[in-house]
């Protein structure tokens, strides 16, 4: 067994695939980012990044994002990384469960009791139903059922549609088969960014008896249809016990936001409303598909509690950024305590 206690097979397969796909030019570019921020020489950084990837399961972007250049060995050991997270995801999920999480329509059907918003599946024979739904909502979100990173998501306004038959065909041809009501987020979230529905990522692990909260991050958008980084969004870590922001916001592109660029809201002052209700929602939802024990859950806090948006069996990693937060430790101890790896 490797030092982190994860199965040796997946680890070796990951390393072999990583070695096959390695892009030295990309590594050097990241090393230059580290040099510009921390003053560490590029050759030393390249070597440290390669060694960290091979020995400690640290992705190159993790090294940059989590400021490993300024951390001690002991501090680095406390940070979750994407390779470790993916190994956990592979180990603690089964194909049948993954299929539900990967298809947004299947997910909505299975988790309908945890979803507050209205939604509709676009079919070949329901053009009139689609028109009625969109007109009743005014503005809707259309989603491609199988997509990632906020891609395949579009916002439509009923007032802009003049040919409903053509609109219905466009949805089918574009595989935008899931239509959803726009979630009415809590006023405290709208105060930060009213133009985007701002989601909270709660990473949890179901051990068969209890659901453990491992990490909580708050994502903020920039007025676009999604709060993902591909749409200009960013995040801040929340205290997993209180739901209060731990720092300013940041992303994987070197941007730091002490205040929201559009509203001016100070990110470090943010407190997620109805935090206990959001955690309770995930405590229930995480038991629904026991074939997926480890997942990243996206919720939106509303005036009445929390609305479940989606679950991700590949939970991803959101972590502290020491140069921004001043917090030089990560969340891996919580993961280890809950999962036992």
Asked if the model's pLDDT at residue 149 lies above 80, the reply is no
Tell me the average pLDDT across 316-339: 97
Tell me the average pLDDT across 79-83: 97
Asked if residue 18 belongs to a domain, the reply is yes
- Residues 202-211: pLDDT tens digits? 999 999 999 9
What is the sign of the dihedral through the CA atoms of 327, 302, 231 and 202?
positive
Asked if residue 84 belongs to a domain, the reply is no
CATH number at residue 325: 3.30.470.20
- Which residue shows structure tokens 């028109």? 131
Tokens describing residue 252: 């994987």
State the burial class of residue 197 (Cβ atoms within 10 Å of its Cβ: 0-12, 13-18, 19+): buried
What is the sign of the dihedral through the CA atoms of 246, 324, 74 and 45?
positive
Tell me the average pLDDT across 196-223: 98
Asked if residue 286 belongs to a domain, the reply is yes
Asked if residue 82 belongs to a domain, the reply is no
321 and 255 in one domain? Answer: yes
- Among the residues of 120-173, which ranges form H helices? 127-137, 164-173
pLDDT at 11: 60
223 and 168 in one domain? Answer: no
Asked if residue 2 belongs to a domain, the reply is no
pLDDT band at 327 (very low <50, low <70, confident <90, very high): very high
253 and 105 in one domain? Answer: yes
251 and 200 in one domain? Answer: yes
- Residues 63-80: pLDDT tens digits? 999 999 999 999 999 999
104 and 202 in one domain? Answer: yes
Asked if the model's pLDDT at residue 20 lies above 90, the reply is no
pLDDT band at 339 (very low <50, low <70, confident <90, very high): very high
166 and 193 in one domain? Answer: no
For residues 124 and 161, is the Cβ–Cβ distance under 8 A? no
Please state the domain count of the chain.
Answer: 3
176 and 31 in one domain? Answer: no
Asked if the model's pLDDT at residue 16 lies above 80, the reply is no
pLDDT at 214: 98
For residues 292 and 101, is the Cβ–Cβ distance under 8 A? yes
Asked if the model's pLDDT at residue 272 lies above 60, the reply is yes
Spell out a b/e string for 99-132, using b for 16 or more CB atoms within 10 Å of the CB, else e: ebbbebeebbebbeebbebebbebeeeebeebbe
Distances (CA, A) of 275 to 122, 211, 212, 233, 239: 34, 16, 15, 21, 10
Select from 288, 106, 305, 116 the least CA-distant residue to 204: 288
Domain residue limits at 177: 118-181
For residues 58 and 71, is the Cβ–Cβ distance under 8 A? no
CATH number at residue 124: 3.30.1490.20
Q: What is the pTM of this model?
A: 0.93
Q: Give the residue from 159, 181, 203 where a domain finishes.
A: 181
Tokens describing residue 32: 């230059």
- Residues 153-193: pLDDT tens digits? 999 999 999 999 999 999 999 999 999 999 999 999 999 99
How many Cβ atoms from other residues are within 10 Å of residue 281's Cβ? 20
Asked if the model's pLDDT at residue 273 lies above 60, the reply is yes
pLDDT band at 4 (very low <50, low <70, confident <90, very high): very low
For the chain, what's the residue count? Answer: 341
139 and 152 in one domain? Answer: yes
Q: Give the residue from 26, 55, 77 where a domain finishes.
A: 77
Asked if the model's pLDDT at residue 277 lies above 80, the reply is yes
pLDDT band at 6 (very low <50, low <70, confident <90, very high): low
Asked if residue 291 belongs to a domain, the reply is yes
Q: Give the residue from 181, 197, 229 where a domain finishes.
A: 181
Asked if residue 314 belongs to a domain, the reply is yes
What single DSSP character describes residue 211? E
Select from 308, 79, 91 the least CA-distant residue to 205: 91
pLDDT at 104: 98
pLDDT band at 24 (very low <50, low <70, confident <90, very high): confident
322 and 194 in one domain? Answer: yes
Asked if the model's pLDDT at residue 252 lies above 80, the reply is yes
106 and 130 in one domain? Answer: no
pLDDT at 2: 40
pLDDT band at 12 (very low <50, low <70, confident <90, very high): low
Output the average pLDDT for the chain.
Answer: 94
How many Cβ atoms from other residues are within 10 Å of residue 146's Cβ? 12
127 and 246 in one domain? Answer: no
274 and 259 in one domain? Answer: yes
pLDDT at 3: 43
Asked if residue 127 belongs to a domain, the reply is yes
User: How far is 319 from 80, CA to CA, in rounded Å?
Assistant: 7
């Amino acid at each position: 067994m490797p030092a982190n206690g994860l199965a040796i097979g997946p680890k070796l397969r990951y390393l072999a695939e990583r070695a096959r796909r390695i892009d030295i030019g990309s590594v050097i570019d990241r090393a230059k980012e580290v040099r510009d921020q921390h003053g560490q020489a590029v050759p030393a950084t390249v070597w440290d990044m390669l060694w960290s990837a091979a020995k400690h399961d640290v992705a190159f972007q993790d090294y940059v994002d989590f400021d490993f250049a300024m951390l001690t060995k002991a501090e680095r050991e406390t940070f979750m990384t994407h390779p470790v997270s993916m190994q956990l995801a592979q180990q603690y999920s089964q194909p049948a469960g993954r299929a539900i999480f990967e298809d947004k329509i299947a997910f909505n059907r299975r988790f309908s009791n945890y979803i507050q918003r209205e939604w509709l599946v676009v079919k070949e024979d329901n053009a009139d139903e689609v028109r009625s739904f969109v007109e009743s909502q005014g503005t809707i979100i259309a989603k491609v059922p199988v997509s990632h990173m906020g891609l395949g998501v579009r916002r439509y306004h009923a007032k802009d549609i003049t040919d409903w038959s053509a609109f219905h065909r466009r949805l089918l041809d574009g595989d935008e088969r899931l239509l959803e009501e726009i979630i009415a987020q809590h006023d405290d979230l709208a105060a930060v960014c009213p133009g985007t529905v701002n989601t909270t990522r709660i990473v949890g692990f179901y051990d068969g008896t209890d659901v453990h909260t491992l990490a909580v991050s708050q994502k903020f958008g920039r007025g676009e249809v999604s709060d993902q980084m591909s749409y200009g969004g960013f995040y801040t870590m929340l205290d997993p016990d209180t739901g209060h922001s731990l720092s300013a916001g940041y992303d994987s592109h070197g941007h730091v936001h002490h205040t929201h660029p559009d509203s001016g809201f100070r990110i470090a002052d943010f407190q997620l409303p109805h935090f206990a209700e959001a955690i309770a929602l995930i405590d229930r939802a995480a038991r629904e598909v026991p074939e997926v024990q480890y997942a990243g859950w996206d919720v939106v806090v509303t005036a009445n509690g929390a609305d479940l948006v989606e679950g991700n069996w590949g939970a991803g990693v959101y972590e502290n950024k020491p140069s921004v937060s001043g917090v030089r430790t990560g969340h891996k101890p919580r993961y280890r305590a809950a999962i036992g790896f």
